[in-house]
Structures are given as C-alpha cells and as structure tokens.
Amino acid sequence: MSVKRKNKIDNGIAETEEALFMGNHAVVQGLLEAGVGFTAAYPGTPSTEIQVRLAKLHEKGQLYFEYSVNEKVAFEVSAAAALSGVRSAVIMKHVGVNVASDAMMALAYFGVQGGMVIVAVDDPGCQSSQNEQDSRFWGKFAHIPVFEPSTPQEIRDFIPKIYDLSEKYNMLCMLRMTNFTSLSTGIVKHRPVEEKLSWNGEFVREIKYQIPARYLLHKGLHKSLKELVKDPLFDEFISLKESSSSSERLIITHGAIYPIVEYMAELYNFDGDILKIGAIFPLNEEKIAEIVKKYKYVYFVEELEPYLETEILAIIGRYNLNVTVLGKEKLQIPYENSLRPDALKEAFSRIVADPNDDSVFYEIPDPSPLPKIFDSEELLIPRTLPRLCDGCSHRGAFYSIKKATGEDFIIPSDIGCYALGQVQPVDVGDYWLCMGGGLGTALGMSKVNGKKVIAIIGDGTFFHAGMPALLDAVEYNHNITLAILDNSLTAMTGGQPSPSSTTWKRKDFNPINLEEVVKGLGVKWIKSVQAINVKENVKIVKEALEYQGPSVLIFKGECIVNKLRNMKTPVKPLSIDQELCTRCGNCLIDFACPSIVKEDGRIIIKQDTCTGCGYCAMVCPVNAIK
C-alpha cells in the first residue's frame, strides 16, 4: 500500500546551527527533523527528558504527544498513527519494552505505513531501574531493526535515516540507547524545525490485518530484513576507524562505550583498528565478514551481554574465517554495570599484550595507570543512600502503616518514590519487583502465608499495572489491604501527570477519580484519608487490616516538590521548643525526616532544608514542634 506522507522534511538541507544538546534532547531534534507528527510515552528514567520536551512541543501545537497510561497503550496509539501513514514514535525505558512487547511482536509482522520507531533507553548499572536488561536482543526476537548511536550528534543523525528505512521497508524499528548516551551532552549540528507537524492520517483497510494466516507476513518480514541489509543507507550505520599503519588487530564495539574505547585505545597505544556497529540487527553479514577477514585478532568490547560477540562468531564460522576471537571471558570484561575506563583497564592490558603469550590470559598484566579522574578508587565523593524528600507526604503514610502493623506484616512495595520507604530508617516495605508487582505478589503471599498482607502502590503505578491485580483480589476474595499513595503525579521521574492529576492544564485531559475506579472494580471497603493526619490514620490502617477480604486505603498528599514549585510565598520552617522536647526520638527515628537531626545532644530542625510541611508536628507527643 502506498501512503502519502504528511510531513515532508527535506533532510538534504545542510545543518545551519550548532548547540550543546543532551542526548535525550538530540532525540527530540531528530524526531522533528524526521517529520514525526505523533508521539506517546510513559515516564521512565533515563528517557524522561525526551518526554518532557515533547510535552512542551505539544503545548505549542507543533506535534501530538501524550503520556499514556502505560507503555503498551503508548505503543498502540503510536502504532495506529503509523498504520494511518503518520510518522510516529513511542518512548520508554528498557523495562517498558517488556510491557509493550505483546503489541510490538504482532505489529512487527504486518508492519507500518508511516515510519515508526521505538526509543528504548537501557539502564546499565541499574541507576534507576530494577534490572539492567539489554534491549539489543529485542531485534532478533521480534525481527525489528535495532540501531544504536554513540553520541548526541549520532542520535540526531540516525533518526531521520531510520525513519526513511522504516517507511521504505514498512518496518517497525528500534533506537536503542543507554543512560550514558541519553544523559551525556555534546555539540550537535542540526537544522531548526519550526513548522507544525501534522498528525492527521488515513487508515486504508487491508486483508493482511485481518486474516489468521500470519505466517505469510512472517515470511515477508524475513524477506524485508534481507533487503534492508543491502540498502546503501543501511551501510551508513557501520564505521571503521583505521589506524595509520596496517594492523592485524580489530576491536569491535558499539554505542555508548565507543568513545571510551577510543580513549582507552589511545591511552594504551593500541595499534589496531576499531569497528563501530550502529546497526545492531540485522547484521550485514557479507560486509562484516569482508572487514573481519583482514585481521588476525578480533576483540569484542561490549557493555552488558556479549550480543555482537555471539552473532559475529556465528558469521565467522559460516564464512570459515581464520581469526582469533577474544571477548568477555578472555578479556575479563564485566557482564554487568556500565563500562567506564577503570572497568576496562584489565581488558586493554590484554588487548595490547603479545597475543602469542597465553600467560596473559591467566595472569592479569599490570595495567597502565589511568588519570585519577577516571580511577574510581580515587573518587572521594561521599556516597549516600537514596531517600524520600524532606516534606514528602509518603513519609506520613509510612509512619501510620508502621505504627499500625508493627513487625509481623508482609509489606510488598512497588515502583515509584515510595520504594524508598524500604531504606533505613523508614524501613516500610519488604521488596519491589516490577510495576504492579507489589499488589500481584501480595495476593499469593496472603494465600500461602495464611495472613493479611498490606501492599503499597502509587496512583500512577496503580493505573499502569495495578488494576488487574486488584480485580483478581476482588474475584477471589484475597485477604489483602492495598495502600495507594496518591500524590496525583508521576513524581519520581520529575512530576509528569498521572491519570488522576488535577494540576496538568491540558484541554483534552480529563483527570480520573481514583476512588471511583477502585469502587468500579468491586472493592467494598474503601477509605480515602489525608496523609498528614498520621495519628488518626493509624486507627484507620488497623480497621483496613481487620477487614476480611480486599480493602483499599488511599493516602492523599501533594508531592512536596510540586508544592514548592508552585508556592507564591516563602517556606516557613518549623522549629523544636527545646524546653518541651523530651528527646523521645519519635520525629528523628520513627518519622525520620532528613531535616531533623541530632546536634550537641539536642534534636533540631535544619532551617535551610525544612519545607514547613507540618508532618513532624503531627507525630510529636508533647507538641514541641511548631
């Protein structure tokens, strides 16, 4: 089917400006220059800045953007746009792809008409995530092309080309980034785009979307992948940096670690070449074999899993190439965490060593010293545990739950700011699994442990993935209490709206009544309380726990960051009357606000960090805080 594209952006026009771009902002620039008119996302670090910038462009009327209820819905609304001839993008963090994958796997078969790209941002090192899964594997699994840039400039340059390929071959594509590429900055040559990008399309009905014989589409998909790798534009995603002299050695690498590999190669006087692969799937086997056969030794330097090593080893075998391959195991490159120069010292000591000396792989060579700025052992920055903000309303909910439950309750938590409640000294929550996983596992916990379980979830996560589990709780009368901590925001990623937000001013946005949704799912025991009423809420938590069957308690409290952002008058910090204070530690230890500290034997409130929220005054048994 031929579809006339709505937004014609001339990618042949030379770049007219240079600017310092964060990687995430370079994504937005690339989308604009590619003529993408429809975008959707679910908030998730490290991808958040992309979404925030797109939301602002929507406000200006330049394109369409929405914060969908979860990644699957975001994917589906974007897919609909692409099926109607409009270029679209869906943005999410790596674990969000898991949520969207049901729709993604199916859409890959019958393809798109307008180009469509999934922007997936991985999180090596679990900086803000529950795992560090490697999204490169989605390409081979779902049969979708995956591209991986190394710098903000490449991000901007890659995106229009990916859309051209997506549209030419009617294929869903993925742009895979990591926290390093998304949050790093660099000078980017670009072309400003001021025109409004249309998101009006036309869906043309075709029998291929309806028939069950999808295996024919699968066959066509494989054919398209074979055609794709022969496209001259596809070759532009692979680059070879050759040394000044003829070399027997080749490093193969990718993505965010390419600049680090370049740096380490220079530092260790590596006399070989470096192959950077930006087209992760499918691989152009003929071209890679043609390059690799020129070398005697090939070294793979990859972050996370040895994906390229595994795939290219297969190519070497199929083409009967006589090369020595050294990868994760031989070079002792970690499988986990983000790779920085200090993590590659041993690998490069081996890479530059005499390859004929086998002892180098059994005894670690003395690594060359790194500049101290790159040596983690020399970093003197003190490490601190993550914590809830001073004045966070969740702390009030945790205090009430803690006082009502004692030590005998299993308390599954979930993904959001409230996951920090597990950190000492707050210590409320036993584990967190995934979005909605706290409530889902609470159902099983209550059955097999034979007692009431209290699960904690936020309003955004409840709408994202908690409702099915609550419906299951009603259906099978699971003996659980669900505490929904409702601050009406997706706060942990910077304050994006949740479906129940009342502060987001957008004409087509209708806030959802959380209590009505819970009631509509069939829950009989529902109460909504203000989180600041900590003492009264202890009694209400006990009532919820005494109820046999599913009960839901909604703690309402505004996100303190959002509150401070919108305040018109200065904060009035509280203080402790030292004559009334009995040093009981209720505010310091049990409530555990970071602004309350012990100094010279006295408990005081730090005036420079106190937000004046008043929660600590509610927990003081002698009314010494005012």
| Token representation of residue 192 | 């400003």
Asked if residue 389 belongs to a known ligand binding site, the reply is no
Distance from CA of residue 541 to its chain's centroid?
33
* C-alpha to C-alpha distance for 70 and 480, rounded to whole angstroms: 24
Per the CB < 8 A criterion, the answer to whether 214 and 109 are in contact is: yes
* C-alpha to C-alpha distance for 112 and 174, rounded to whole angstroms: 13
Asked if residue 559 belongs to a known ligand binding site, the reply is no
| Token representation of residue 238 | 């692979």
Q: What angle do CA 364, 382, 596 make, to 5 degrees?
A: 155
Three-state secondary-structure class, residue 292: helix
Q: What residues does 118 pair with on adjacent strands?
A: 90, 174
Q: Which residue shows structure tokens 């070399």?
A: 247
Asked if residue 126 belongs to a known ligand binding site, the reply is no
Three-state secondary-structure class, residue 195: coil
Can you give the C-alpha Rg of the chain in angstroms?
27
CA-CA-CA-CA torsion for 325, 328, 329, 332, nearest 10 degrees? 120
Residue type at 354 in one-letter notation: D
* C-alpha to C-alpha distance for 156 and 567, rounded to whole angstroms: 37
Q: What angle do CA 167, 170, 175 make, to 5 degrees?
A: 70
* C-alpha to C-alpha distance for 513 and 195, rounded to whole angstroms: 37
Q: By 3-state DSSP, what share of the chain in percent is helix, strand and coil, each rounded to 5?
A: 40, 15, 45
Asked if residue 581 belongs to a known ligand binding site, the reply is yes
Which string of b and e fits 555-578 if b means at least 16 CB within 10 Å? bbbbbbbbbbeeeeeeeeebebee
Asked if residue 610 belongs to a known ligand binding site, the reply is yes
Element (H, E) at 441: helix 437-449
| Token representation of residue 296 | 């005697």
**Residues contacting residue 512 through CB under 8 Å, at least 6 positions apart:** 463, 499, 500
Asked if residue 173 belongs to a known ligand binding site, the reply is no
| Token representation of residue 179 | 């926290």
Task: Tell me the Ramachandran region of residue 427: left when phi exceeds 0, alpha when psi lies from -120 to 50, beta otherwise.
Answer: left
Nearest alpha carbon to residue 573 among 529, 609, 527:
609
Q: What are the φ/ψ torsions at residue 455 (nearest 5 degrees)?
A: -100, 150
Q: What are the φ/ψ torsions at residue 269 (nearest 5 degrees)?
A: 55, 45
DSSP 421: G
Q: What residues does 458 pair with on adjacent strands?
A: 485
* Distance linking the first and last C-alpha atoms of the chain: 71
| Token representation of residue 253 | 């690498």
Nearest alpha carbon to residue 345 among 365, 373, 330, 328:
365
Binding site as annotated, residues: 581, 584, 587, 593, 610, 613, 616, 620
Binding site as annotated, residues for [4Fe-4S] cluster: 581, 584, 587, 593, 610, 613, 616, 620
